[in-house]
Amino acid sequence: MPRYYFNLDNERNLRDDTGEMLATIDDAKAHARIVASEMGAHQTGEHNKNLWISVTNEQEEEVFRVSLDGKNWR
C-alpha cells in the first residue's frame, strides 16, 4: 500500500515526515480534504486562502493540493 504525505504549504512549508498508508490516490485526496477542513476550522477564511495541504507520494512528487478553506484544489 502506498504512503502519502500531507504537508502544510505556506511560507515555511511544514513537511509531514510520517505520512499515511492509503490504498488509492482518491483515498489520499479525501484524507487531504478532511485534514484541510479540520485545520481550516481554526483559522480565518482569508488566512486559509494562502495555506494549502500538499499531498506528495513516496517519490516526493505532488499528486494533489487543497487549500485550507476547502474551495480550491488541483
Per-residue pLDDT tens digits for 26-68:
999 999 999 888 888 877 666 666 789 999 999 999 999 998 8
Question: Between 68 and 1, where is the model more confident?
Answer: 1
Question: Is the dihedral angle over the CA atoms 18, 1, 13, 50 positive or is it negative?
Answer: negative
Cβ-based neighbours of 12, under 8 Å, separated by 6 or more: none
Residue 50: predicted pLDDT: 77
Residue written as grid cell 499528486: 63
CA–CA separation, 36 and 18 (whole Å) = 17
Give me the pLDDT at residue 41, please.
80
* Segments making up each domain of the chain, as ranges: 3-67
Q: What mean pLDDT comes out for the span 9-33?
A: 92
Q: What is the pTM of this model?
A: 0.85
